[in-house]
A and B are shown apart, each in its own frame.
Chain A
């Protein structure tokens, strides 16, 4: 690496005032978006911590009551935001942040941030990752255009190559300078902000550090890819106007249009069942309130299970056993209907990440939230953890109702703080990082293809 030449390229970039100041403005915008997102995250996390604590207190202090009533009262499980979601909130604003863990129902997550946001907020692309993935490539293309096509038009490229510098080495230096400027202005500040935020919030850990480092590396690789695309186009198309128009068109297609199109195309080609059909299937197969006829067949099944003829001879409380039977039946239905539905959402996400082969922006859009921990796979973990907790809670309550009464005609004993405290506090952990990034191969392929194509292009470079 010739450091003096690299420094020269930096200086030349710095002298392109329009491009330089535009980049600085973008950097400020990214930092601003990061701060706004961080502020929202701080407020959201504080609210969730307050409510989770209050919910726990309410659960423990609900007094003496029928355990089944307690299972209906239950608690709200709150989803903790990923530590690094200030870099990329991902799907978090579009998924429920709280779920009521009620008996008989696997409820949907409620209170999606975007439900209450004005249209303005949705249009705002108000997060650093969206700005870096969507807007930074335009600047990368402009830098590449300036470094190759414009220098060729001015004749300075001919001079540079004329002194015996190999084209590959020269272009590699220019690319390094472009990527260096982008990384320095756009990634380093948000990376530092991310680290500072984690330290402030006390969420700094090995996992967070690894995620942050990988996110910064992936974003750097993305910038390398777009700069290489810019260099290849600028080197192959000898007319500056045509090169510029092509780069502008490529940005529109690869970055602006294709990522949205890919999401849409996956949703259209692999459609999900409607929420209505899912809800109807749940209502029909696992009704929360069963009919008299269903109740009668449940009684018969319970008598057969315990090998007795009369309800009075059952070794368990009939009502409790009936509740338990219906609840366990609903678990199978929820696993099949809702579990299958969420599996389909995950499959859609997998197909979408595979479309990263047609645009690096799609690959990065898929990879960034996966690394940060704000994609659907991580949300699914919350859904499953909350559901496991709900089942455990309801099963404990039903077990208390099922206990046979001491003597015939005696009232079922009510639950109290001793029973409530048997239910542990709700916590959910994030899945391991290595299970997430399915779009990584696509991004690496873009990088390798870019390097090879650039090398081939530079062999034929005409100054």
Chain B
């Protein structure tokens, strides 16, 4: 072994015997374990709610079918349509219960992302405008306000603090104690001396962080075989992010500051990158990509609903006149029940609100694109978003879910609206003396929602730019450190 190798081994042993380093890493490991388990606990509860809801939907449908069967008995007084599951219009409005579920991915404990804000369980109703009702699963507002102590938070915010603390302390010992002049008197360049020390710290840190990440996910119950691609990408991303903070710290300590100076500067950089950039970015995005308050949508919805209701006769008459099969039955317009009327009025409401909906979606997408771009300026933001992408708790996956919910709703509308409107053209004869209307019995033909997820490869590809960007930054910062370390400090 040459003398540089011997120095590296000595430095590695020094780190291994440093109690402060292990206290810091121990606390970080505990934080990672808690974060992963906390995220897993939230997602377990949500998955359980999905399973219970699915069972409740099935039980409801079974009870509805049973009632429909019971109501086939003869009766002197017919059942009101809103109490009759055998009436297609009544069923569609008062009995149809379908939910769309967004199941969690195997690696979900990696980051809570937006899973505590956005619903993973959405009721699909035919009259909901644009498919998505503004529903959510209630989470304690205090927890939402302070933010989750999840693995994503620990990796993005706490891990950098541990890294800068260790490098800031362990590389400035000689400087603080006035021993640097003794080191400088040895036949070794400053670049090699500090470089080997930082390399030894980095080697330990990367190894321990990889083990801690794996251990935390294992504790949270993640099956590595269930998401190998995402897991490998997450490991690479976290290690590159750790490397970035090591390289940044290296560039700072390469200026030979004291521990106080190094930690002060690194703390300022941490605040700048992790807090100030998102804060300023948020202010700029909100200021430039403006949207009217979401509350104005209430006003628009009420105005359009009132207007459509006021023009109801005209809207229905136009809808009947526009269809060859309905036109001869225009005389029935005044006798249509509420649910049947809605099959014509809901699309009209959506048509009138489409421009506003389009504008809202545009603003959301622009703001989300800006967030992605800012992730390249604030590594913590970029890493949190990337971890959420790999965990399947990101906003893009939720948008995909919303889009599929809308498609599913349109499919259900096709199924029911055609059958309801067919009753205008050719009503099923009511069985003589029947309690129920009996024009609908296809309960088992109603479709179920199945979420089509993006592939694991596409998730891994989505986080590749951030990973490569952090790697490039790390290389650049190491270059800056190497340039600074051409000579020993003048004030030895």
Contacts and interface: CB of A to CB of B under 8 A. Distances in A.
Contact of A119 (B46, B145, B294, B371): B371
B145 A32 contact: no
A113 B38 CA distance: 25
A116 B279 contact: no
B34 interface: yes
B157 A91 contact: no
B24 interface: yes
Nearest to A240: B260
Contact of A18 (B94, B264, B371): B264
A98 interface: yes
Contacts of B271: 135, 138
A119 B324 CA distance: 50
Interface in B44-91: 45-46, 48-50, 52-53, 56, 67, 71, 79-80, 82-83
Contacts of A18: 264
A208 interface: no
Determine the main DSSP class of B at the interface with A: helix
B126 to A, nearest CB: 15
Contacts of B282: 36, 118, 120-121, 123-124, 126
Which residue, of A19, A253, A292, has the highest number of chain B Cβ atoms within 10 A? A292
B281 interface: yes
A78 B395 CA distance: 27
Contacts of B144: 91, 94, 114
A121 B364 CA distance: 12
A256 B149 CA distance: 10
Determine the main DSSP class of A at the interface with B: helix
Interface bin, chain A: 35 or more
Contacts, number: 245
Interface string B264-301: 10011001000110111111011000011111111100
Contacts of B158: 252, 256-257
A32 B278 CA distance: 13
B165 A289 contact: no
A267 B271 CA distance: 28
Contact of A120 (B153, B169, B296, B374): B374
Given A47-B295, A115-B117, A260-B148, A108 B260 contact: no
Contacts of A365: 146
A51 B296 contact: yes
Interface stretch (B132-140, B179-187, B407-415, B451-459): B132-140
Interface string B17-37: 000100010010001001000
Given A278-B138, A291-B83, 9 more contacts: A18-B264, A19-B264, A32-B279, A111-B295, A115-B118, A116-B360, A263-B140, A345-B140, A376-B140
8 contacts: A44-B293, A47-B295, A98-B298, A112-B136, A120-B285, A123-B384, A241-B173, A260-B153
**Pairs of residues from A and B, 6 with the lowest C-beta to C-beta distance, nearest first:** A91-B141, A124-B282, A47-B293, A276-B49, A94-B144, A260-B149
Interface of A: 18-19, 22, 29, 32-33, 36, 40, 43-44, 47-48, 50-51, 54-55, 58, 76, 78, 90-91, 93-95, 97-98, 108, 110-126, 131, 135, 138, 142, 145, 150, 240-241, 244-245, 248-249, 252-253, 256-257, 259-261, 263-264, 266-268, 271-272, 274-278, 280, 289-292, 295, 341, 345, 348-349, 352, 365, 369, 375-376, 379
Interface of B: 20, 24, 27, 31, 34, 38, 41, 45-46, 48-50, 52-53, 56, 67, 71, 79-80, 82-83, 94, 113-114, 117-118, 121, 134-150, 153, 157-158, 161-162, 165, 169, 172-173, 176, 259-260, 263-264, 267-268, 271, 275-276, 278-283, 285-286, 291-299, 302, 306, 360, 364, 367-368, 370-371, 374, 380-381, 384-385, 388, 395
